[in-house]
Amino acid sequence: MRLKCGALLLGMMLMGMAVTTNTQVSAEAADGEVLVDPGKTFVKVYRLHDLPAWSKDGTFRPVLIMQTVQDQILPKQWEGRGGTATMAPYPQDGALVISATEKMHEKIEAFLDKQRPSK
């Protein structure tokens, strides 16, 4: 059962759905809308297919991007620096799985968008 729940959670994350953890949902939310308590954390998946997270042989290597995100986006909020936000690579999908507050997710998304090649 535990394995099935973990696989379901991972599947939801990989489909691009935000998975909330330790959050409070507002009773004022419209139908189908989930309002997350801004001080709580939730998990979000960031695909890096168009960012320099790959070696020449096609191996997923997101270490530089991960370090830059932790250095640029609220550095003291990351778990390794005394905070609660976490980040892990998911090589099977070329993505980062990040658990952070809404404010951090907004900053991470804006930062990654600036790194993406313009169309």
Average pLDDT of the residues of the chain: 78
Question: What structural domains and CATH numbers belong to the chain?
Answer: 2-115 (3.30.1370)
Of 46, 40, 39, 62, which is closest to residue 108 (Cα–Cα)? 46
Q: How far is CA 94 from the centre of its chain?
A: 12
Q: What is the pLDDT of residue 33?
A: 52
How far is residue 66's CA from residue 61's CA, in Å, rounded to a whole number? 10
How far is residue 85's CA from residue 75's CA, in Å, rounded to a whole number? 10
Distances in whole angstroms, Cα of residue 107 to Cα of each of 31, 56, 93, 101? 27, 29, 22, 10
- pTM given for the model: 0.69
Beta strands in 1-119 (DSSP E): 19-20, 41-47, 86-90, 95-101
Give tens-digit pLDDT for 48-91: 999 999 999 999 999 999 999 999 999 999 999 999 999 999 99
Distances in whole angstroms, Cα of residue 106 to Cα of each of 2, 83, 90? 31, 17, 20
How far is residue 14's CA from residue 11's CA, in Å, rounded to a whole number? 5
Give tens-digit pLDDT for 44-53: 999 999 999 9
Give tens-digit pLDDT for 17-26: 444 433 333 3
